[in-house]
Structure 1
């Protein structure tokens, strides 16, 4: 069972798609969000969850007080389930049914302070690099971009403007964090 760890919906269960998703474990979400909150990247932030899958990351951010949360998921059944979970939890989020690589090519409607990417572990590194590059117009200065991958995966290829801050391992999961710095910052 997958639960929201903390915030207004803390302890409440969410339904997860039966196929093609790998929800971030509760342990990893708890550790990740503890670090994000300590750095000031959740409450009152605009948050984007790409490759939303079960929606656990975006819903966790909404539960913990994010100002605005958008989730992008390519699977229609998974996106529908995210919408149902958000309604059941009383969380106001926007869910887009689109591929991440297509969504990042859209004109930006807002700047995000925190971007969470948890792509399928099988996603090719070159595709991840294209998505990170396409993401740049959508992120605010000093925004944090977090990429979750298998521990054995190579470090993502960060586009100009994203500087690696750190990485952490939790079990078989590695999470990289990079900060957006505009030129001259």
Structure 2
């Protein structure tokens, strides 16, 4: 995988070995970024179910002020740490070993400017994270990748890319 744009444009990053992580493809990742690109400079970003860290790293590359990466697996966190080191690091990149739902349940409204979530399709994490955001909008913009067969509340804006959908929720101003 590679970083698509910004200061790290074209730099390669690794995905964790095995089938535990489903890395977001370049086309879908570019779609995420085109939707939020105007608010990324100096943004506080949250990357939930971070996997390789590609979404958060892309945001940092494009000028985000900070990014918190949340991932349960120590092995997967090691890949994110390695990717950060390969890119030269970032002083405001923080890794958290935690369950994504448990992590956001502790957040207050507006804790982040932008939050990305790319949970495993086979779990109940997608609806749980959306429920958490609807109860306490922990990010001004919350985007979640999910199977196109999953229907989320109509207040979100969805875009379909084959069997993958991205749904974005925006906090009221």
Equivalence for 2:102: 102
Q: Distance in 2 between matches of 1:91 and 1:61?
A: 13
Equivalence for 1:153: 150
TM-score scaled to structure 1, two decimals?
Answer: 0.83
1:169 has 2:160 as partner: yes
Q: Distance in 1 between matches of 2:12 and 2:150?
A: 30
Query: Does the 8 A contact of 1:112 with 1:138 survive in 2?
Result: no
The runs of 5 or more residues in structure 1 that have no matched partner are none
| Deviation (angstroms), 1:119 | 0.6
Equivalence for 2:122: 122
Structure (1/2) with the larger strand percentage: 1
Equivalence for 2:66: 68
Change (3 A) 1:65 1:146: same
Equivalence for 1:131: 129
In angstroms, what is the RMSD of aligned CA positions? 2.1
Query: What number of residue pairs does the alignment pair up?
Result: 169
1:87 has 2:78 as partner: no
| Deviation (angstroms), 1:28 | 1.0
Equivalence for 1:22: 22
Spell out structure 1 runs of 4+ moving beyond 4 A: 135-138
Secondary structure of residue in 2 paired with 1:96: strand
The runs of 5 or more residues in structure 2 that have no matched partner are none
Change (3 A) 1:89 1:8: same
Query: Does the 8 A contact of 2:107 with 2:138 survive in 1?
Result: no
Query: Does the 8 A contact of 2:126 with 2:146 survive in 1?
Result: no
| Deviation (angstroms), 1:138 | 6.5
